[in-house]
Amino acid sequence: MVKKDKEMSGKQKAALLLISLGPEVSAAIYKHLTEEEIERLTLEISGVRKVESSVKEEIIEEFHNIALAQDYISQGGIGYAKTVLEKALGKEHAQAVINRLTSSLQVRPFDFARRTEPSQILNFIQNEHPQTIALILSYLESEQAGMILSSLPQEVQADIAKRIATMESTSPEVISEIEAVLERKLSSTVTHDYSDTGGVDAVVEVLNGVDRATEKTILDALEIQDPELAEEIKKRMFVFEDIITLDNRSIQRVIRDCENEDLILSMKVSSEEVKDILFKNMSQRMAESFKEEMDVMGPVRLRDVEEAQSRIVATIRRLEDAGEIIIARGGGDDVIV
């Protein structure tokens, strides 16, 4: 028999919530969890034998209230969430929900900034130290950060991009100090945490949000300062599966410039969406030939596939640099007229 709601751990409640939501919804939720979280939840679910309907209802209600509270926090902070919940649930119940939420969930630093116009943030940070700018940009949405980075002087863009890519864990005291100043400037509420940020993935997201001219300026400078970092960033900025974002003319050009063996090997393990769009841009004869070769092809090594896809991506970037194709990205220089 499952324990009463108040006696259960958070993990047990999560398992029962997934059981209550059904297999389809639970499967969708699993896609957003780590392997470790999936293993722990699956193990917990496998041990459940019987759940009283009253317990199930309490857990669903608690989840609903916490979800509402989190939504209210994102709209206006902890104080706003508490006020709204008190009107809906009563003072005692509302405080209990807020306590559960704040003890298990954290609001990322600079949450207020992610709801602020990039131009306002730019006005404040443009004269700050590059490390301070890098820290703030690494916490913003990639589109916001890209717009701000594009507007900064060219001579500091590459330096800031490099600082984002090489940034490690930042002390909460430093984050707190920078947040406090920015908070006063923008008159917003913020909740602190100890999150790590930065890294190559972060700078890739930022660069994906800038215009092509800014991206080229930054990468050219990084190739001089740190060639290995520049190459790593390039590899992650456009992956094989992103080929679906190209227009048909560009895809046809890529197909012509790539080796058939590389295309076949890459398509062997690609998504159906990628296969469909590539086949669509081939002649019927070529598509049939590719399909036959893929059908008779045995198991392939992951390393061979990755190398083939890397060669295709390198071709795509070469064609873009030569102005032969266009890769959609932030900014206004990708408008086709």
- The answer to whether residue 336 is domain-embedded is no
Clarify whether residues 166 and 61 are in a common domain.
Answer: no
The pLDDT score that the predictor gives to residue 336 is: 37
Clarify whether residues 193 and 258 are in a common domain.
Answer: no
Mean of per-residue pLDDT scores for the chain? 75
Residue 118 CA from chain centroid, whole number? 19
The pLDDT score that the predictor gives to residue 23 is: 73
- The answer to whether residue 333 is domain-embedded is no
Rounded Cα–Cα distance for residues 78 and 303 (Å): 48
Provide the 8-state DSSP code for 323. T
Q: How far is CA 32 from CA 26, 28, 35, 36, in A?
A: 10, 8, 10, 12
Under 8 Å CB-to-CB from 290, ≥6 apart: which residues?
260, 263, 264, 267, 279, 282
The pLDDT score that the predictor gives to residue 314 is: 84
- Domain residues for 210? 113-235
Summarised one tens digit per residue, pLDDT across range 195-227 is 445 577 777 777 766 666 677 778 788 888 888
Grade residue 127 by pLDDT with cuts at 50, 70 and 90.
confident
Clarify whether residues 215 and 180 are in a common domain.
Answer: yes
Rounded Cα–Cα distance for residues 24 and 45 (Å): 15
Grade residue 105 by pLDDT with cuts at 50, 70 and 90.
very low
Summarised one tens digit per residue, pLDDT across range 20-44 is 777 777 777 777 777 777 767 676 7
pTM reported for the whole predicted model: 0.40
Domain of 160, CATH number, reads 1.10.220.30
- The answer to whether residue 334 is domain-embedded is no
Rounded Cα–Cα distance for residues 243 and 270 (Å): 11
Clarify whether residues 227 and 251 are in a common domain.
Answer: no
The residue among 92 and 250 whose pLDDT is bigger is 250
The pLDDT score that the predictor gives to residue 192 is: 37
Clarify whether residues 125 and 206 are in a common domain.
Answer: yes
Report the number of distinct structural domains present in the chain. 3
- The answer to whether residue 330 is domain-embedded is no
Clarify whether residues 96 and 121 are in a common domain.
Answer: no
For residue 100, is pLDDT > 80? no
Last residue of a domain, one of 235, 257, 280: 235
Clarify whether residues 198 and 260 are in a common domain.
Answer: no
Angle 205-258-206 from CA coordinates, rounded to 5°: 5
